[in-house]
Amino acid sequence: MESVIALAEELHFGRAARRLRISQPMLTKNIQDVESLVGGALFLRDRKHVVLSDAGRAYVQQGRLSLLHSERAVQSARTVIQGMDETFHVARTPYADPFLVSTLLSIQLPLFPRLKIDLASKFSIDIVHDLLGGLVDLAIAHEPPESTLLTCVQVAEQPFYIAMAKRDGLACYPSISLDQMDGRNWILFERQLHPPVYDAIMSEATQRGVRPQSIQHVIAPEEAFPFVADGSAVAFVVKAGALRLARNGVTVRPLNESSLRLKTCLVCRADDESKIASEFVRAYMRKLPDKKRQQQLPLPISA
């Protein structure tokens, strides 16, 4: 497997052999053994070129995961032998509800008293990539994509919020509709941070005939503050962003649109059958409000 992955990355027998510190004939034999096992060519090669075949790409994709899981298995065994802490890798979006994050950090598992949570902050698109790559065990993500490789359970659903200057006429309303945003200068998060959510907002606006006068894009809600504070624009933010912006002349109101609500999910790989992940998800769901506890959990929880 290591030989196939090395050759796939180097596309040169000599360099791949040197990287693995084996002879070139041994590398060739290893490749032939794997091709014999799968029943087809993983590489298309002649005297000058080596190209990965479609079968080879499929093998390498899963092979990298297998090697990563193997390395983690060794590390887990060493952790137990050496009496070290077990590490559980969790990712969350920067705009996740603070309550959901604090709930996660409060979890203690009796079966794993030395469990250490490694919490990383990543954008949703990066979280999915790291989950599939085995770099993250569990994630709190907004609107994760549908995939047979992922298992998700919804843990929260919240409205978007509109941040505006306190002197803005919209501030007299308890909530804001999309129609009231017509002709305003909008501040939105960059589309690349979460394309499905961004597209949902723009699609709903188009269908309703709501047109912003201009759109300014930001990565962090704090970037919107000076423009909102001086009354020149209003900003779309999630709950965590609303909490950061509501100060020094800026206030927020919920966006009262049933079709534009942000769903937050607990996500893991569909093939993850680890005991830690199972126990962690159970403990997490028990800490949520009763209406969420009663949901059937589609995550891979052992009986």
In this predicted structure, which of 79-83, 194-198, 291-295 has the lowest mean pLDDT?
291-295
Strand partners, 264: 142, 156
Taking phi over 0 as left and psi of -120 to 50 as alpha, with beta for the rest, 234 belongs to beta
pLDDT at 79: 61
C-alpha 214: how far from its chain's center?
A: 30
Residue 296 has pLDDT above 50, yes or no: no
- If one compares 114 and 4, the residue with the highest pLDDT of the two is 4
Q: How is residue 231 written in tokens?
A: 């009354």
Q: Which range is least confidently modeled, 100-104, 122-126, 222-226?
A: 122-126
First to last CA, the chain: 33
pLDDT value, residue 70: 75
Residue 109 has what pLDDT? 84
Query: Model pTM?
Result: 0.61
Secondary structure of residue 247 in the 3-state scheme:
coil
pLDDT of 276 > 50? The answer is: yes
- Number of neighbours of residue 272 by Cβ within 10 angstroms: 19
**Is the pLDDT score of 241 beyond 70?**
yes
Percent of the chain with pLDDT over 90: 28
Q: Is the pLDDT of residue 80 over 80?
A: no
Output the CA angle 106-125-212, nearest 5 degrees.
105
**pLDDT value of position 82:** 58
Place of tokens 């109101």: 253
What's the pLDDT at 78? 67
**Nearest CA among 208, 220, 228, 121 for reference residue 166:** 228
Pairing of strands 86-92, 138-142: parallel
Q: Tell me, what's the pLDDT at 121?
A: 85
- Residue 297: the pLDDT is 39
272, pLDDT greater than 90: no
C-alpha span between 97 and 141 (Å, rounded): 10
Cβ atoms within 10 Å, residue 11 = 14
State the Cα–Cα distance between residues 178 and 202, nearest whole angstrom.
11
Instruction: Kindly report which listed range (61-70, 73-82, 162-171, 219-228) carries the lowest average pLDDT score.
Output: 73-82
> What is the mean predicted confidence (pLDDT) over 114-122?
83
Length of the chain: 303
pLDDT digit string (tens) for 175-210? Answer: 999 999 999 999 998 887 788 888 989 999 999 999
Most confident of 67-76, 77-86, 107-116: 107-116
**Residue given tokens 């049933």 in the structure block:** 258
pLDDT given at position 244: 83
Which one is predicted more confidently, 193 or 252?
Answer: 252
Phi, psi of 190 (to 5 degrees): -55, 135
Going by pLDDT thresholds of 50, 70 and 90, the confidence category of residue 113 is confident
The rounded Cα 176 to chain-centroid distance in angstroms is: 29
pLDDT band, residue 103 (cuts 50/70/90) = confident
C-alpha 295/C-alpha 286 separation (Å) is 11
| Average of per-residue pLDDT values in the chain | 84
Asked if pLDDT for residue 291 goes beyond 50, the answer is: no
Query: What's residue 229's pLDDT?
Result: 92
Residue 79 in 3-state DSSP? helix
- 3 state SS of 99: helix
